[in-house]
């Protein structure tokens, strides 16, 4: 037990050092376009893996996941803007953190003592508000299934859009970048540390849930809800918990997105975006954590590659490519790339050892 604890602490230390090194070095040595893709891939992984908790683990069909991200984004941005004077006065009003020059390199001064508390608070509050709404949206899942539940979640996304477009406090249809009266802007709080730290958390939570005794109740609901009820599983609690947990991480992803883009448009969270996340989960394999993560990386980087090769015409072909990939996958491998399995590095290590010993 002590060895296991030491091993876990060792991995945690390695992850912490890696995240801090990435936060410092990646902005310096990666082109802005490449760094942007890296950041958006991380946020997409959080969204895909969190949706997998709902669609993949419990077998429900939600197509309004971007709505939870929108809630987290607007709540988090409003917190750091309107709560600036009372809570986050240590954050610059223009939202830009200064830099210092060391050896000819501009190093960002972004310490946990300056932007960290504001980022952490906005992530938690945005996630909790989204989780609360996820609870309300999850209630219809007790009686609705399949297409009917999908329609409810789709309607939820549209409700969020209409509400935001009619709220002047968050900019309405013109978008939200700060308070025009005070000049306080949405701060640039998001960096590699927060994005990929959250990626590690959501993957670890999903993995531990899947392989735990409690997680078996989620999978039993997916396989046969009636049989699960007969075995004593509280399917009501399981389905609502899945929505709440998935919505929480989507809200956190929204907070990260808001403080990276710094100008939030409600069009960034429309049905098309929700469809993107569903596509990631289906292509990766319903129930597969690593499958959803890898599909998120591919489908997020792909539009950037298309934009680089096709220019402004890329947006016209993006949905066509997504839909075509989905159709081909359904015909060739309907269970997704990984099915319900996971990508394990132990398998590669064992194969390598077998080759060496053989």
pLDDT means per 10 residues in the chain (358 residues)?
64 74 75 88 95 88 91 94 83 68 52 72 95 88 74 87 89 87 88 91 90 81 81 83 93 95 90 88 87 91 77 69 77 74 56 47
Helix locations, 166-234, DSSP H: 192-210, 213-223, 225-230
Range of the domain at 115: 30-275
Task: Say which CATH number the domain at 51 has.
Answer: 1.10.3470
Helix 271-284 to helix 314-332 angle (10° resolution) is 40
> Residue 338: what pLDDT?
72
141, part of any domain: yes
* pLDDT recorded at residue 7: 65
Residue 83, domain member (yes or no): yes
Quick one: tokens of 76? Answer: 């988090």
Report the distance separating Cα 257 and Cα 279, nearest Å.
20
Q: Is residue 213 part of a domain?
A: yes
Residue in this structure with the two tokens 């949405």, named with its chain if needed: 186
pTM: 0.88
Residue 12 in domain: no
Query: C-alpha distances in angstroms, 98 versus 108, 111, 115, 303, 348?
Result: 7, 11, 12, 32, 44
Number of domains in the chain: 1
Q: Specify whether the CB–CB gap between 266 and 173 falls below 8 A.
A: yes
Phi, psi for residue 191 in degrees, rounded to 5? -145, -175
For residue 123, list its beta bridge partners: none
Residue 194 lies inside a defined structural domain of this protein: yes
Q: Is residue 319 part of a domain?
A: no
pLDDT at 341: 63
pLDDT the model gives residue 67: 93
Please enumerate in sequence order all residues whose Cβ is within 8 A of that of 249, keeping only pairs 6 or more positions apart, or say none.
46, 47, 49, 50, 53, 127, 198, 202, 205
- How far apart (Å, rounded) are the C-alpha atoms in residues 112 and 120? 10
What is the per-residue pLDDT for 348? 46
Q: Give the pLDDT score at 107.
A: 54
- In a domain? residue 64: yes
State the sign of the Cα–Cα–Cα–Cα dihedral 304, 309, 311, 313.
negative
* pLDDT score, position 121: 93
């Amino acid at each position: 037990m002590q060895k296991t604890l030491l091993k876990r602490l060792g991995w945690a230390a390695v992850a912490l050092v890696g995240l801090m090194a990435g936060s410092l070095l990646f902005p310096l040595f990666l082109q802005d376009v490449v760094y942007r893709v890296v950041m958006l891939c991380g946020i997409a992984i959080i969204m895909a893996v969190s949706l997998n908790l709902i669609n993949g683990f419990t077998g429900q069909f939600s197509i309004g996941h971007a709505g939870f991200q929108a809630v987290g984004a607007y709540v988090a941005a409003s917190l750091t803007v309107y709560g600036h004077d009372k809570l986050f006065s240590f954050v610059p009003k223009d939202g830009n953190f200064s830099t210092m020059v060391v050896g000819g390199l501009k190093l960002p001064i972004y310490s946990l003592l300056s932007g960290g508390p504001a980022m952490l608070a906005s992530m938690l509050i945005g996630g909790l508000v989204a989780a609360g709404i996820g609870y309300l949206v999850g209630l219809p899942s007790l009686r609705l299934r399949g297409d009917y539940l999908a329609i409810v979640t789709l309607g939820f996304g549209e409700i969020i859009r209409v509400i935001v477009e009619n709220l002047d406090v968050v900019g309405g249809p013109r978008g939200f970048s700060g308070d025009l009266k005070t000049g306080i802007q949405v701060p640039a709080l998001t960096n590699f540390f927060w994005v990929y730290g959250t990626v590690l958390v959501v993957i670890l939570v999903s993995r531990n849930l899947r392989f735990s005794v409690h997680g078996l109740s989620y999978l039993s609901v997916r396989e046969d809800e009636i049989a699960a009820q007969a075995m004593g599983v509280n399917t009501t609690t399981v389905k609502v918990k899945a929505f709440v947990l998935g919505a929480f991480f989507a809200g956190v992803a929204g907070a990260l997105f808001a403080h990276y883009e710094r100008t939030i448009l409600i069009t960034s969270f429309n049905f098309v975006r929700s469809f993107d996340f569903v596509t990631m989960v289906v292509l990766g394999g319903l129930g597969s954590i690593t499958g959803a993560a890898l599909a998120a990386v591919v489908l997020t980087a792909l539009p950037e590659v298309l934009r680089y090769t096709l220019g402004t015409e890329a947006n016209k072909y993006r949905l066509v490519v997504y839909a075509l990939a989905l159709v081909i996958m359904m015909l060739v491998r309907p269970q997704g790339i990984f099915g319900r399995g996971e990508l394990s590095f132990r398998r590669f290590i064992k194969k390598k050892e077998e080759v060496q010993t053989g």
